């Protein structure tokens, strides 16, 4: 009987250790994701040509889903899709890409047509649901 009680307390102790390790692992994973997200946002703000390749590494499913909908998207359109996926406002995208907000609004409208996004659908929600 004492062996059983000892074994039960040993199991509980092991479970606590495993739970703590799991929490630490999740925090490390979360910190890594935050770091990558910050890096991608910095590349977007710099209008860096590395943005597309970095985002492809982090979100490969995003591009395969976009390609399934419209396989003829140009790299510049894919980069614009990244800006929308990052929930950057029209004004922010205009600032980062050195164009007017009106030009960005026109790009959004052309992209809506190309991807068959309904005009009453929030384009940011559409990209986040993709």
pLDDT tens digits, one per residue of 62-98: 999 999 999 999 999 999 999 999 999 999 999 999 9
Burial of 54 (0-12, 13-18, 19+ CB in 10 A): middle
pLDDT tens digits, one per residue of 19-64: 655 555 577 777 777 888 889 999 999 989 999 999 998 888 999 9
Cβ 111 vs Cβ 70: under 8 Å = no
pTM: 0.75
């Amino acid at each position: 009987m004492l062996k059983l009680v000892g074994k039960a307390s040993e199991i509980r102790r092991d479970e606590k250790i495993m739970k703590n390790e799991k929490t630490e692992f999740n925090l490390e994973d979360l910190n890594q994701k935050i770091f990558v997200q910050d890096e991608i946002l910095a590349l977007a703000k710099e209008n860096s040509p590395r943005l597309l390749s970095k985002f492809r590494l982090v979100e490969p499913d995003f591009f395969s889903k976009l390609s399934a909908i419209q396989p003829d998207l140009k790299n510049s359109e894919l980069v614009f899709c990244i800006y929308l996926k990052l929930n950057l406002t029209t004004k922010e995208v205009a600032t980062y890409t050195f164009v007017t907000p009106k030009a960005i609004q026109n790009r959004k409208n052309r992209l809506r047509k190309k991807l068959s996004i309904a005009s009453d659908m929030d384009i940011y929600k559409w990209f986040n649901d993709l």
